[in-house]
């Protein structure tokens, strides 16, 4: 029997595309505040420099977390076959609500 496209695989890859779009948007959220703080245009003093360093560190941690948002999804896609039997596809479509 011929295999068909696995609806779960299609669903996960579409979801990954959406996650990547959100990641791209989130990754730049702290860029302007960090640049403004580092440029001295917002606040200047030794304390401002410390806060600027902390903000930069927090930006790096935040961006690392944003980058990891898709890790589990990528792992799920790696273990999900692209093709399945028509019967299994029907079950996945019912499970996924489509």
Question: What sign results for the dihedral spanned by CA atoms 4, 11, 17, 65?
Answer: negative
Containing 4, the helix (H) or strand (E) segment is: strand 4-5
Q: What is the pTM of this model?
A: 0.74
Find, among 12, 16, 14, 26, the residue nearest to 59 by Cα. 26
User: Mean pLDDT across the stretch 35-61?
Assistant: 80
Please determine, for residue 43, whether its predicted confidence score (pLDDT) is greater than 80: no
Q: Could you tell me the pLDDT band of residue 54, with boundaries at 50, 70 and 90? A: confident
Query: Contact, 77 vs 13, CB < 8 A?
Result: yes
Radius of gyration of the chain (CA): 22
Burial class (CB in 10 A: 0-12, 13-18, 19+), 37: buried
Q: What is the pLDDT of residues 16-42, one digit of tens each?
A: 999 999 999 988 888 888 777 776 777
């Amino acid at each position: 029997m011929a295999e068909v496209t696995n609806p779960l695989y299609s669903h996960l890859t579409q979801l990954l595309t959406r996650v990547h779009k959100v990641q791209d948007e989130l990754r730049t959220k702290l860029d302007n505040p960090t640049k403004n703080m580092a440029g001295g245009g917002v606040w200047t003093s030794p304390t401002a420099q410390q806060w600027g360093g902390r903000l930069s560190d927090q930006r790096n941690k935040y961006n690392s977390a944003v980058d990891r948002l898709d890790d589990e999804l990528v792992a799920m896609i790696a273990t999900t076959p692209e093709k399945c039997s028509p019967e299994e596809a029907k079950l996945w479509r019912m499970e996924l609500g489509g």
